[in-house]
Amino acid sequence: MTLTPVPQDRPTLPLQPTNRHGSRSRMTCLFRCGNACDHPEPNPTTNDHIQDEIAKAVQRRSLLKGAAVGSGALVLGSLTGGLADQAVASSGSGKRDLATAAFTPVRPNKRDAVTTATGFTYDVIIRWGDPVVAGAPTFDPYAQTAEAARTQFGYNNDYVGVLPLKGSKEALLVVNHEYTDENLMFPANTYTPAEIKTAAMANYGVSVVQIKPGLVPGSWRQVKPSSKTTYNRRIHLETTFAFDGPAAGDDRLKTTADPAGIQVKGTLNNCAGGTTPWGTVLSGEENFNSYFDKSGALDPRYTAEYQRYGITGSGKGWMEVDPRFDLTVEPHEPHRFGWIVEIDPMQPGSTPRKHTMLGRFKHEGANISLTKNGRAVAYMGDDERGDYIYKFVSAAKFDDRGTSKARAHNKTLLTKGTLYAAKFSGDGSEDGVYDGTGEWIPLCNDTQSFVPDMSVADVLLFTRLAADKMSPTKMDRPEDVEPNPVNGKVYAALTNNSNRGTVAMPVDEANPLASSMVRSAIGAPLTSASGNRNGYVLEITPDSGNHGSRTFTWDLFLVCGDPAAAETYFGGFAKSAVSPISCPDNVTFDSEGNLWIATDGNVLGSNDGLFRVPTSGPDRGQVLQFVTMPRGAETCGPLIADSNRSLFFAVQHPGEIDGATFEQQASTWPHTDDFPRPSVCVAFKDR
Ligand code: FEO
Ligand code: CA
Ligand code: CA
């Protein structure tokens, strides 16, 4: 076939071969978050940095060690009905148990491969382009269309949820598709610019895929799509979502297509998420700001709001194929993204919802636990340098009866309640530990705002601006914030912050690196490193062991990096016996309460990976690398399931290295084609 060359529409990339910051390629920064780090720090407030707290010295470590919590979380574990629940109920799976297995950590490497610890292996379950819906065409990179993509597995898989199907050994795999990289996806001289845009847009959203156990215990494979895979579903940018909660119907959600402000087409930049105790999936709309263009002036009514959310009018050119992405035409369209969405995979025809009650920001994800009296608590991070950690507590209580009526009630829990932002106070660095106390600052409930001069709808639509007024603590890019179902503590990945330590964002005890004062206080040498480069894992212990508590204690469980670096800390474990780890992003837990950490942007000179770390006992803090990623990829969506025998994970953006194109790829993983395909995998014991 003779192809007629047409003008290409690929974003122009900088020619520098170097990385922009850390190891994250210029391509990843451009395509995923629109070069957020190039923009002025979006949070300009001078909110509390708790510097003045550093003088206080109270040893809190012993208190933390004794603070066994978790009744609420254990209840959650018994209510999820998920594969993780089966793991809790299981007496263990012997040598196949990933929670207890001894393994030699994978050495840091730069292979174009997924490498598991010796004795374990992995399978690819589904790749970009594989059929999701029955009748989907076989993927052909030279014949990509929006119509085909809306039936196939989307690009750049992130969150991974696994929900068992009752009365069956099968389960539903629910996966987010965060963003596209047109350079790697589309061959040159094959498509018009409009064809690239529409096909790329159809690669966003969420996939629901039926899976079944493989031959080896712990392995899983896709059920071939057919008339029997009735749960399979592709949610994309044309799928109708309904708004609920107090801001639904607000004037600032109204557009030409939706004059009532109650529904919106699609979901964007879905990053992490969580599976609820009632068997639905939550997904975070993260860097939604980078998809909006402008054909003329920006609406002056929203100057401050656009600025705080990084909405500049510099998008991906989508307005050329869909005018709703033109801010000049539809100034309210960006207000319709940046939410937590809820999808019910068990009801394939159901309308997914966007929960205004959980606030609008760059949502990484949301993970649910229960208070002691049964209210649902959603923990959430706003992934921006200097933004906040949030939680929501429902007004109504979880109904554990397992009936369809109870389930319908539970699906309303995220529509009414109270939204809070976290304030962390340090107790001083003289104790040699980064730790302290904290409080949840209420922003609003469904009927009342606690923020001066802002209504409930103001708070929910422009949550960042509302929180700014209440002085929570500016954090180092909060990613996953997840409750540990065994010890009841909450673990937040703070991935890095290239701005920390500047005058605009000084250090504090919860975000300590880059300050000469703090470094000298803990005896750490000053380095040439600027800011927090390797990230932290923050451990939050709710007071009274109750996720409903307004107060908590906290400590930095991990200060990531090369163990040889003086500033690193691994929960008190011997630094000579841990794996180097950099830029924690997604986290999950096995039934023993071990924390599993996925990384994004390792700056230690090797590929990203996945790590296991005990959170209690003599091995607390022993970080061991279990899997390494292919070239250019980050690790996403880790999930331990099936009685701790299965480790699900997503390989996102393999080959996304500066200068790579479809014709000149930097990776060919999973090595089924001559181009890389983001894929969801499962690791398990191989013998
Ligand atoms: Fe999409 Fe915050 O990672
Ligand atoms: Ca301290
Ligand atoms: Ca992430």
Which of ligand 1's atoms lies nearest the C-alpha of 287?
1
| b/e 69-96 (16+ beta carbons within 10 angstroms → b) | bbebbbbbbebbbbbbbbbbeeeebeeb
Measured CA to CA, the distance from residue 659 to residue 667 in angstroms comes to 12
CB-ligand 1 contact for 634 (6 Å cutoff): no
Residue among 228, 211, 270, 366 at smallest CA distance from 680: 211
Query: Which ligand lies nearest the alpha carbon of 64?
Result: 2
CB-ligand 1 contact for 384 (6 Å cutoff): no
Measured CA to CA, the distance from residue 499 to residue 491 in angstroms comes to 23
Measured CA to CA, the distance from residue 34 to residue 674 in angstroms comes to 27
Q: Are strands 569-570 and 551-559 parallel, antiparallel or unpaired?
A: antiparallel
3-state secondary structure of 426: strand
CB-ligand 1 contact for 286 (6 Å cutoff): yes
CB-ligand 1 contact for 178 (6 Å cutoff): yes
pLDDT of residue 62: 24
Chain centroid offset of residue 114 CA: 21
Q: How far is the CA of 446 from the centre of ligand 1 (A)?
A: 28
Sign of the four-CA dihedral 365, 367, 371, 373? positive
Question: What are the tokens at 108?
Answer: 């840091």
Name the closest-CA residue to atom 1, ligand 1. 271
Measured CA to CA, the distance from residue 403 to residue 174 in angstroms comes to 23
Measured CA to CA, the distance from residue 255 to residue 269 in angstroms comes to 21
Which of ligand 1's atoms lies nearest the C-alpha of 269?
1
Q: How far is the CA of 63 from the centre of ligand 1 (A)?
A: 33
Q: How far is the CA of 284 from the centre of ligand 3 (A)?
A: 10
Which of ligand 1's atoms lies nearest the C-alpha of 479?
2
Q: How far is the CA of 168 from the centre of ligand 1 (A)?
A: 34
Which of ligand 1's atoms lies nearest the C-alpha of 271?
1
Neighbours of 349 (CB within 10 A): 6
CB-ligand 1 contact for 85 (6 Å cutoff): no
Residues 6+ apart with CB under 8 A from 543: 549, 550, 551, 552, 553
pLDDT of residue 498: 77
pLDDT of residue 503: 72
Q: How far is the CA of 535 from the centre of ligand 2 (A)?
A: 18
What is the DSSP-derived secondary structure letter of residue 165? Answer: P
Residue 670: is the preceding peptide bond cis (ω within 30°)? yes
The 3 state secondary structure assigned to 330-367 is: CCCHHHHCCCEEEECCCCCCCCCEEEHHHCCCCEEEEE
Q: How far is the CA of 635 from the centre of ligand 3 (A)?
A: 9
Which of ligand 1's atoms lies nearest the C-alpha of 286?
1
pLDDT of residue 28: 84
Predicted TM-score (pTM) of the model is: 0.89
Which of ligand 1's atoms lies nearest the C-alpha of 495?
2
Residue among 343, 272, 364, 286 at smallest CA distance from 636: 272
pLDDT of residue 523: 53
Q: How far is the CA of 401 from the centre of ligand 3 (A)?
A: 34
Low-confidence ranges of the chain (pLDDT < 50): 1-18, 20-21, 48-92, 515-521, 525-526, 528-530
Query: Which ligand lies nearest the alpha carbon of 650?
Result: 3
Residues 6+ apart with CB under 8 A from 254: 260, 261, 332
Question: What are the tokens at 342?
Answer: 């809820």
Q: How far is the CA of 536 from the centre of ligand 1 (A)?
A: 15
Measured CA to CA, the distance from residue 34 to residue 32 in angstroms comes to 6
Query: Which ligand lies nearest the alpha carbon of 271?
Result: 1
Q: How far is the CA of 60 from the centre of ligand 2 (A)?
A: 7
Q: Are strands 417-426 and 389-397 parallel, antiparallel or unpaired?
A: antiparallel
CB 21, CB 532: distance < 8 Å: no
CB-ligand 1 contact for 387 (6 Å cutoff): no
Which of ligand 1's atoms lies nearest the C-alpha of 32?
1
